[in-house]
Amino acid sequence: MYILSQTGAQAIVDRVMKDIPYNINIMNHLGVIIGSGNPKRVGTLHHGAVQAIQLGRTVEIYEDEELVKKGINVPVELEGQIIGVVGISGEVNEIRPFGNLLKSTVILLINQSIHLEKETSSRALKQEFFHIIVNTDTVYTNELIQRALQYDIVLSHPSQLVLVESQTAITTYTTHLLAMFNISEYSLCFVNQDEDQLSSIIQDIRLHNPHAFIAISKWNDTIAEGFEQAKSAMRILKGLNMKDRLIHYASCELTANMLTSLKHNTQHEHSRQLLKLDDEMIHTLQVYLNWNLNLNETANQLIIHRNTLNYRLNKIHTLTGKDPKKFLDRIELIFMLIHHAK
């Protein structure tokens, strides 16, 4: 039997009393008031509700008593069981027309609450599953293999991860794919196991979030390996702010591996601290690199004069000690940008 919570009951009372000019009480299956327009009555036993539960029908009270106010008390049934009682205080003849209407409203709100609880629980279970399968230490047990099938994932098949990140909240997707997981408000991940499906996934992403960054892993035997690849590729994509906003790990595998090997290198961490640029300088450097060092095109993209661009590039040189116009310095600046990406 569904058990009404005090929080849920009070929320229903507060909502209903905005439209009905009478005090409303909601009692649980024992007749105890768990929601009321009069907070002092919460937690007390309502004898009219107890009687309504015992008789299985509406009980009308015509006179105020010590613990009960005059009004009507209507049992609330869900799946053939009385789960509580809703009461309206007032003159019986005045409030009687509200009885069935109020009962239907309460049942509707309870059903909405149940649906929301199930949906929330389902999302939580899905997120838990995702965190398990992207953990590199996870072993594919029979239980996990069966659980994966709920999301159309066959763990014995190779998979490809599609990681999506955006600077703004990601719009809800209408995709039918169950193997889509929300990582945060600004990122999500697709587990793709169909080679023919990738283009439609990318099309769907760009339709809903045209400015999102998309990183795609290689095909791997484990989802965790693909997730690590997609994250590495995403860091490169965002660090360089690449024009097409889509990157395949296969196209940057060497760079990604070098970044991984340098991750704990203290000398490299020291050089990373040289990147003391503001957002304008960082964006200027990204555009300069994306447009293949073409000064005129970079200036056009930034909508600034070429002299202003040269001033900014010189400032980058001064602040970092690395000259964007020199080949080796430019390589170090690229690595700095990627490490700078969040």
Task: Specify the pLDDT at position 3.
Answer: 83
The answer to whether the CB of 136 falls within 8 A of the CB of 228 is yes
Strand order in the sheet with 59-61: 33-36, 24-27, 81-89, 71-78, 59-61
For CATH 3.30.70, the residue range(s) in the chain are: 142-261
- pLDDT < 70: residue spans in the chain: 66-67, 171-177, 261-275, 340-342
In the block, residue with structure tokens 């509707």: 108
The reply to whether CATH 3.30.70 applies to domain 142-261 is yes
For CATH 3.30.450.40, the residue range(s) in the chain are: 6-120
Q: Output the six-digit token pair for 107.
A: 């049942």
Residue in 315, 306, 245 with CA at minimum distance from that of residue 280: 315
**CA separation, residue 154 to residues 55, 73, 149, 230 (Å):** 53, 53, 6, 20
Judged by DSSP in three states, 273 sits in coil
Q: Which fold has domain 265-340?
A: Arc Repressor Mutant, subunit A (1.10.10)
Long-range CB contact pairs, 277-286, < 8 A, 24+: 277/316, 277/319, 277/320, 280/312, 281/312, 281/315, 281/316, 281/319, 282/337, 282/340, 283/241, 284/309, 284/312, 284/313, 284/316, 285/313, 285/316, 285/324, 285/333, 285/337, 286/240, 286/241, 286/337
Task: Specify the pLDDT at position 143.
Answer: 94
Task: Specify the pLDDT at position 133.
Answer: 96
Task: Specify the pLDDT at position 248.
Answer: 96
Helix axes 223-240, 279-290, angle to 10 degrees: 100
**Given 3.30.450.40, 3.40.50.1000, 3.90.550.10, 3.40.50.300, which CATH number is that of 6-120?**
3.30.450.40
- CB environment 86-116: b (16+ within 10 A), e (fewer): bbbbbeeeebeebbeebbebbeebbeebeee
For CATH 1.10.10.2840, the residue range(s) in the chain are: 265-340
